[in-house]
Amino acid sequence: MRKILVAGNWKMHGSKAMVDALTRGVLEGVESTPAVDLAVFPPNLFLGQVQALAEGTRLNWGAQTLNPHAEGAFTGEVSAAMLRDFGCRYVLVGHSERRSLFGESDADVAARFEAAVAAGLEPVLCLGETLEEREAGATEAVVARQLDAVIERVGAAGFAQATLAYEPVWAIGTGLTASPEQAQAVHAFLRNKLVALDGTIGGQTRILYGGSVKPANAADLFAQEDIDGALVGGASLTAEDFVGICRGAS
Ligand code: PGA
C-alpha cells in the first residue's frame, strides 16, 4: 500500500515572516488531516528556518534542485551533502522550470538524481510533456525519454527511495488540471515501465501528480489507482489550501 505524499513546491516565494507563518500554519492544520506524508520545498535560504520549526514533526522538507558535484568552484550552487546537513529528506530534480528556464537536459537531470541518491536524499523526479507534445500525441514518448535517461544512469535500484512526479507542463500554474483519467493513464504508463524493470520497486514507487492541484480537485486525483499524492505549487503557499489538499486523501 503506497501512502499518499502531499508536497509543496514553494518555488521562489517567501520571506522570513511568510515562511514562519506558513510553516506554523501547515503544522497546525495537518493535525486534523488524514495521516498523509508531508513535505515542503522552500527556497534554500529558508531551509534552516523550516528545519528549526519542523524537526521532530510529520513535516519533511527538501530543496528544489541541487548541483551534482560534491563541492568545488561552482558559484551559486548547493550540493546534495549540504542539503543533508540541513536535514533535507527529499530534493526535486528535473522540475519543468529547471528544464525550460535553466536548460537542464535529461542527462543533467539524471546526474542530479544520481547525486541525490548517493548522498542519501530521496529524489522526486519531475516529468511531463508540453501542450504541443500532448497535441502531437507524444506524451508517452516524452515521459519515457525523461524516465529512461535516469534509468540508464542509476538502474532500477536507483529508484528504491525515489518518487516520480508527473507534471504536464501545460497544467503548471495555468489553472488547467489534467483530468483524473488523463493523469491516471500517464501514471499507469510510468509505473508499468518501472514494474518491467523491477516488480517490487515499480509497485512501491510513489507517483505524484502536479499541475494546478487544489482542494477542489485533490480527492478525485487521489482516488485514481496510480496517483499517490500531489506536488503542489501555487496552492502550497497558503496553509489553508495545502491542508485542504491533504484532506482530499481521506
Ligand atoms: P502549480 O505548480 O500547482 O502552481 O500548478 C506545480 C509545480 O510546478 O510543481
- pLDDT tens track for 2-29: 999 999 999 999 999 999 999 999 999 9
pLDDT at 11: 98
| Closest by Cα among 8, 2, 59, 48 to 218 | 8
At 197, list the grid cell.
524493470
- Cβ of 234 closer than 6 Å to ligand 1, yes or no, is yes
Query: How many Å from the N-terminal Cα to the C-terminal Cα in the chain?
Result: 15
- Cβ of 213 closer than 6 Å to ligand 1, yes or no, is yes
Query: What's the half-sphere exposure (Cβ side, CA atoms, 13 Å) at 224?
Result: 24
pLDDT at 232: 98
Respond yes or no: is residue 55 known to be catalytic.
Answer: no
Q: How far apart are CA 239 and CA 50, in angstroms?
A: 14
Active-site choice (95, 97, 114, 122): 95
> Over 90: is that where the pLDDT of 221 sits?
yes
- Residue owning the nearest CA to atom 2 of ligand 1: 233
- Residue owning the nearest CA to atom 3 of ligand 1: 233
3-state secondary structure of 118: helix
Query: What's the half-sphere exposure (Cβ side, CA atoms, 13 Å) at 239?
Result: 17
- Cβ of 231 closer than 6 Å to ligand 1, yes or no, is yes
pLDDT at 56: 96
Confidence of residue 40 (pLDDT cuts 50, 70, 90): very high
Q: How far apart are CA 228 and CA 63, in angstroms?
A: 20
pLDDT at 1: 80
> Over 90: is that where the pLDDT of 211 sits?
yes
Q: Which amino acid is at 61?
A: W
Q: What is the mean pLDDT of the chain?
A: 97
List CB contacts of 116: < 8 A, sequence separation 6 or more: 66, 80, 91, 93, 122, 123
Total-model pTM: 0.97
> Over 90: is that where the pLDDT of 250 sits?
no
> Over 90: is that where the pLDDT of 95 sits?
yes
- Cβ of 233 closer than 6 Å to ligand 1, yes or no, is yes
Choice from 100, 102, 124, 167 to test ligand 1 binding pocket (greatest atom count within 8 A of CB): 167
Q: Residue 182: left (phi > 0), alpha (psi -120 to 50), or beta?
A: alpha
Q: Which amino acid is at 106?
A: D
**Architecture in CATH of 5-247:** Alpha-Beta Barrel (3.20)
pLDDT (tens digit per residue) in 160-204: 999 999 999 999 999 888 999 999 999 999 999 999 999 999 999
> Over 90: is that where the pLDDT of 249 sits?
yes
State the greatest distance between any 2 C-alpha atoms of the chain, in Å, as a whole number. 48
pLDDT (tens digit per residue) in 224-248: 999 999 999 999 999 999 999 999 9
Q: How far apart are CA 63 and CA 44, in angstroms?
A: 6
**57 C-alpha to ligand 1 centroid (Å):** 25
Respond yes or no: is residue 167 known to be catalytic.
Answer: yes
Query: Would you list the domain boundaries of the chain?
Result: 5-247
| Closest by Cα among 2, 5, 3 to 246 | 5
Choice from 172, 209, 242 to test ligand 1 binding pocket (greatest atom count within 8 A of CB): 172
pLDDT at 209: 98
